[in-house]
A and B are shown apart, each in its own frame.
Chain A
Amino acid sequence: MAPTSPIRSLRSSLRRICVPLLILWAFLPGQSGVSLATTVDPPNFGDLVKEADVVFDGVVTEIQASWVGAGAARHIESAVTFQVLDTLKGRAATPYVLKVAGGTVGDVRMEIADAPAFATGQRMILFVEKNGSQFIPLVGVMHGQIRVAHDEVTQRDVLRDHNDRTLFGVDDLGQTEAQRAAMRAPAIPMAPMTPDSFKAEIRNRLQTLPGK
C-alpha cells in the first residue's frame, strides 16, 4: 500500500473534522430551517434562469425617479437605465430601462425594505421579470440582482449577491450561509466565480430549458 501524502492526509483530516462541525452549526437554533426569505421565497439558480424574462449583464448609466400612477396607486418609481454588455436571455438592447419602485423626488423619498439598490457606474447581472408591471421587476426581488465587484486581492472581477456574499458556485444562490458552508466543506479551497464563468453557467442552463 502506498503511503498517504501529507496534503491528502491534511484534506482528509479537515474533511473529517469540518464537515461534522459545519453540519452541527447548520442545525444550531435559529440557523436551521427552511431557506425562506421573509418577504420573498428565495429562488435557486435554476429558478432564476427559468423564471426570468430577460437576463443581461449591464452597467447602470442613469437613474431617474418620478411620480407614477394615480389615486391609491400613486407612488415613486425609478427608471434605471443600463448599458447592456451582454444579453443572455430575452431581448435587452442598450439603453435598457428597468422600472423599479422607490426613489427620491424633491424632498420626498420612498424606499422598499429588501429591495435591491442601484448606483450609476455599477455593473450587475440581472434576472428581470415583468419589467414595467411588477413592483420590483426582478426574480425574487433582491435575489435577482448579482453585482459585479472588483476583488483587490486577486485583481479579478467577482460576483456578490444581495447579502454581499461572494459567489463560489451557482449552487450558492438561494442558500443560507450555513447551507453554503456545509455544501462547500469537502472542496477546499474554491475560487470565486467570475462574471464569465457565471454567464457560461447561465447559457448552459438555458440549453436545458424546455423549448431549447
Chain B
Amino acid sequence: MKMSRNLVWLAVSMATLLMTAPRVPAYVLYGDKWPFGSRVIMQLELENFSGQLIDGTVGSWNVVAQGALAEWNTKIQQVQFEAVMYSNAPIAADNGSNNVFWSDNIYGQAFGPRTLAYTTFWWVGASTRTEADVVFNNGKLWNSYRGPLKDASGGGYLYDFRRVALHEFGHVLGLRHPDDFGQHVVAQMNSITSDLDDLAADDIEGAQSLYGAPVVVVPTATLAHPTPGSTLSAADIVFTWNRVSGSVGYRLRIGNAPGKSDCFDSHNLSSALSSLKVPAIPSDGRLLYIRLSTDHQGTWYNRDYTYTALKSYSGLMIHPFPGDTVASPVTFQWRAGIGASAYRLWVGTAPGKSNLYHSKTLGHTAHSLTVRPRHVPKLYVRLSTLVGGIWYNRDYVYKE
C-alpha cells in the first residue's frame, strides 16, 4: 500500500515536471544557410483550379504556397522568401532556380506511392547552397485547411497542402526533422505531421537561429501634407500627418538642422490630432528640417523630413492665420519681403476688392484696422509689397 502511494506521488511529480519544465529547443539544422541579406526566390509553378479550397482560397495553389512563404518571412529577418507567382521558370535540377511545382515524377523518376512531396537541395562546395526545389505529388488528394487532419471521402487522407508546404519551405531554409535526431518536441518540422496546422515555437526558434528574429517595427506617423521634400508655398502652413494606432501623442519641430526646433516646436500634441497650423515659417528659401515624432507609451519615435522654405519677395501674412475667422478690430502682421520698401493692405468682399478697407502706403509689417461687420461669408485680404518700384500682390481669405 505504501509502495503504491509512493508510486502515485512519483507519477504526479513526473507529470507536474513535464507540464511545468521550460521547453528546451530541439530544432536541428543542416549546418548551412542562405547568404545574409539574400532573397530566396521561389518560382511558384503550381496549377490553378476552379472552385474553392476548404480554407477559402480560390484560384491557385500558388496562393497557398505564397501564404506559407509569407508565414516564414514574418518569423525571420536576415533572409526573406520572394514568391514569383505563376512562374514559367524552366523546371530542372541544378539550374539555380528554386522550382515549386506539381508533378507525377521527380526528375523523371517515380515518387513512390507513399510520398507526398520532396525537397531537393543543391550545394556547390562545402556550404554554398545554390538551389532548393520543392515537388508535390499530384497523384495525391490535396486541399488546404486548418485544424485536425481530415480523412478523404474515398479513404486515406485529404492532405493539407499548407502544412506540408510550411514543412518543405522549412527544409529550404535549412531546418531538419528534430524527431529524426531523437528529439521529442511539438514542431511542424517533425517528420510526422499532426493536427498542428501552423509553425510551432521550436520551428520559429530554429529559423531565427539561422536568420535572426525580425526587427519589431513600431508604426510611426508620417507627414502627408505638404509633400515631403517640396518647397513650401507660404509662410503659414497646415501640416497634416497620418495618425497611427497605439500612439499617445505627436510632436512637430522645425529647425535649421536635423532634430532642431529653432523655428518651431509644437511640444506635445494630442494623439487625436492629425494636423497643425504652423505660422511664421521662414520665407527666405532656406532648407528646413522637420521632425514628426510619435509617442508610443513614453518612447518617442522620429521621422525626419526636409522642405525648402518659400523664397518670397513679397510680404507673407503670418497673423491672423489665413482662413481663420477675424473680428474687428484686427491687427494684421506679415513677414517682410526680401527687398521690400513699402506695403499696402486692402480688404474687400471679392478677390482684389478694397470696398471694405484700403490702407495708405505702409512702412511697417503690421497694421491694425476696423472693418464694420458685413455678414459676408468671406473676407478677401490683399497684401501688396513694393519691391524695386513694382507692387507684388498676395491674396488671403478669411472668415468674418
Q: Which A residues lie at the B interface, using CB under 8 A?
A: 6, 9-10, 13-14, 17-18, 21, 24-25, 29-43, 51, 69, 71-76, 101-102, 107-114, 129-130, 133-142, 162-165, 176-177
Contact = CB atoms under 8 A, between A and B. Distances in A.
B3 A6 contact: yes
- Ranked nearest first, the 4 interchain pairs of A and B with the lowest CB-CB distance are A30-B186, A73-B108, A33-B194, A33-B195
A64 B323 CA distance: 85
B23 to A, nearest CB: 11
B180 to A, nearest CB: 5
A186 to B, nearest CB: 15
Given A113-B171, A136-B112, A142 B8 contact: no
A36 B7 contact: no
A57 to B, nearest CB: 22
14 contacts: A33-B148, A33-B196, A34-B195, A36-B192, A37-B191, A37-B193, A38-B167, A39-B117, A40-B115, A72-B91, A101-B106, A112-B121, A114-B177, A137-B112
Contacts of A141: 112, 114-115
Contacts of B157: 34, 36, 41
Contacts of A165: 182
Given A101-B107, A110-B120, A30 B195 contact: yes
B117 A177 contact: no
Given A21-B15, A37-B193, A72-B92, A112 B3 contact: no
Contacts of B18: 25
B164 interface: yes
Nearest to B194: A33
Contacts of B124: 107-109
Contacts of A24: 15
A51 B195 CA distance: 27
Contacts of A36: 149, 157, 192-194
A139 B107 CA distance: 19
Given A51-B113, A113-B168, A129-B112, 16 more contacts: A33-B193, A34-B149, A34-B194, A36-B192, A37-B191, A38-B116, A74-B94, A75-B120, A111-B123, A113-B120, A113-B121, A130-B112, A135-B109, A142-B180, A164-B182, A177-B184
A123 B34 CA distance: 35
B45 to A, nearest CB: 12
A4 B284 CA distance: 104
A179 B114 CA distance: 21
Nearest to B179: A163
Interface in B139-166: 148-149, 156-157, 163-164
Contacts of B182: 163-165
Contacts of B112: 40, 129-130, 134-141
Contact of A13 (B3, B14, B94, B190): B3
Interface of B: 3-4, 7-8, 11, 14-15, 18, 90-94, 106-125, 148-149, 156-157, 163-164, 167-168, 171, 176-177, 179-182, 184, 186-187, 190-196, 200
A75 B94 contact: yes
Contacts of A110: 93-94, 120-122
A101 B148 CA distance: 33
Contacts of A18: 11
A108 B93 CA distance: 12
Contact of B179 (A69, A112, A130, A177): A177
Contacts of B94: 74-76, 108, 110
Contacts of B14: 21
A139 B114 CA distance: 8
A96 to B, nearest CB: 19
A74 B106 CA distance: 10
A74 B149 contact: no
B90 A72 contact: yes
A137 B118 CA distance: 14
Nearest to B116: A39
Contacts of B121: 109-113
A141 to B, nearest CB: 6
Contacts of A6: 3
A74 B11 contact: no
B134 to A, nearest CB: 9
Contacts of B115: 39-41, 135-136, 141
B397 to A, nearest CB: 66
